[in-house]
């Protein structure tokens, strides 16, 4: 495969000012641009990289975060044709995690690798479910008790223990 360089990402940024990063899981088909549109976070929910209509959309950064945040939330669809974020469902099996422990998240100025700390599936809670884990409230820069609470909650939801320790100051 072609080696990815920061120059590659600079060319994508020149094509679309909203390009912020690239997410991929080596050994899987998951490999997509990540968009960032402050003030209109869900702009790419149903848009392709070029801004045209696309039912699958393009992955995008969550409200309140950017590529340098402590906790970067990336939204994308799980399509029925096994594209987009569908490979994430395979993390329910520890054997898949054993083979794919890392996720690439390259920004315009850094080629980065993240370790998969926890894998879990969670429904979006209803307003009546007052004790539910509202993971989307932890977007952006978090620290102290909020960081500790978030890490404890994701580990409590996890399908299995990865054994990976998370400390304040780590980026998620």
pLDDT digits (tens, 9 = 90+) for 3-14: 788 999 999 999
pLDDT digits (tens, 9 = 90+) for 58-68: 999 999 999 99
**Which has the higher per-residue pLDDT, 81 or 131?**
131
Q: Does position 78 have pLDDT exceeding 80, yes or no? A: no
Q: 98-134 burial by CB neighbour count: b if 16+ within 10 A, else e?
A: eebbebbbbbeeeeeeeebbbbbeeeeeeeeeeeebe
Residue 82's pLDDT band (boundaries 50, 70, 90)?
A: low
Both tokens of residue 160?
A: 């299995």
């Amino acid at each position: 495969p072609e080696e990815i360089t920061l120059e590659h990402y600079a060319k994508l940024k020149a094509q679309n000012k909203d390009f912020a990063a690239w997410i991929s899981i080596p050994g899987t088909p998951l490999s997509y641009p990540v968009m960032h549109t402050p003030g209109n976070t869900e702009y790419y929910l149903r848009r392709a990289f070029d801004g045209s209509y696309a039912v699958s959309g393009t992955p995008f950064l969550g409200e309140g975060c950017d590529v340098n945040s402590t906790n970067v939330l990336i939204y994308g669809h799980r399509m029925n044709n096994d594209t987009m974020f569908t490979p994430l469902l395979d993390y329910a099996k520890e054997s898949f995690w054993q083979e794919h422990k890392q996720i690439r998240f390259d920004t315009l100025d850094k080629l980065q690798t993240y370790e998969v700390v926890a894998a879990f599936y969670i429904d979006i809670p209803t307003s009546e479910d007052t004790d539910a884990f509202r993971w989307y409230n932890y977007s952006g820069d978090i620290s102290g008790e909020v960081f500790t609470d978030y890490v404890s909650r994701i580990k409590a939801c996890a399908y299995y223990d990865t054994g990976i320790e998370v400390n304040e100051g780590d980026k998620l």
